[in-house]
Structure 1
């Protein structure tokens, strides 16, 4: 070994931007990661999660972020990001690395794909909720 440590990846160690713009790191290895964010960071108020997720199937769940817009940047693969707000559904197809979508505050959203996909997420997480289908 050369004595040099490998830097972390956002997939394994997401970054948390605190209200004073410091960056904290928290390993994403526990099944209760998101609940821990709420408890460790006072409900995540004023914090932003910067993370990478890999997926190769539809999410199967919808989410909404009332604290602000979410920024999603495609790293590889392809996915349809589906938003539902004010009774209307919109679909944004990301299929070229470097493309991005901004999910508006309070818009329910999910992703649909059938291919291996990786994306970078910048998420204002305070108050995030999940639903099997908010359109029902």
Structure 2
């Protein structure tokens, strides 16, 4: 690990547990193991992603809210709320709090990078329908 040194938050995430923080190296098994529940990270995960493509799915976090910070570029965050979909535009330097248990997805308006602080357990995914892609 790179403790005490600089690192790339796209390939090394931070796990903010109740007992402290630690680095998590990310490989090809990270997301499948996390989504299946095989690996658990109670607390929060901090990560950065290049935002060059729309989210490939909807996601929700039943265990807690998610913070999204646009570091550069722009993204529309679509929230599937009980009264219907709502879109929040995030431009470079803006942030939002995604409510707990609300399905959401991102649509890239201008490629850039985003920082996420999300619950480390219980994330759900569902596919995006063709009608939703066209909307």
**Greater strand share, 1 or 2?**
2
So what's the TM-score if we normalise by structure 1?
0.82
Please tell me whether residue 131 in structure 1 is matched to residue 123 in structure 2.
Answer: no
User: Which residue does 1:23 correspond to in 2?
Assistant: 21
RMSD, aligned α-carbons? 2.2
1:34-73, aligned counterparts within 5 Å? 34-37=31-34, 38-40=37-39, 43-44=40-41, 46-73=42-69
So what's the TM-score if we normalise by structure 2?
0.82
Could you tell me how far 1:114 is from its partner in structure 2?
4.6
1:60-90, CA deviations, whole angstroms, 9 ceiling, x for partnerless residues? Answer: 2110000111000010001101111214211
Task: Say whether the 8 Å CA contact 1:55–1:117 is kept in structure 2.
Answer: yes
User: Which residue does 2:8 correspond to in 1?
Assistant: 9
Please tell me whether residue 112 in structure 1 is matched to residue 107 in structure 2.
Answer: yes
1:57-96, aligned counterparts within 5 Å? 57-95=53-91
Please tell me whether residue 103 in structure 1 is matched to residue 101 in structure 2.
Answer: no
Q: Secondary structure at the match of 2:12?
A: coil
Could you tell me how far 1:102 is from its partner in structure 2?
0.7
- Note the residue ranges of structure 2 that are not aligned, 5 or more in a row: none
Q: Secondary structure at the match of 2:31?
A: helix
Task: Say whether the 8 Å CA contact 2:73–2:109 is kept in structure 1.
Answer: no
Task: Say whether the 8 Å CA contact 1:85–1:106 is kept in structure 2.
Answer: no
Question: After the TM superposition, which segments of 4 or more aligned residues of structure 1 sit over 6 Å from their partners?
Answer: none
User: Which residue does 1:32 correspond to in 2?
Assistant: 29
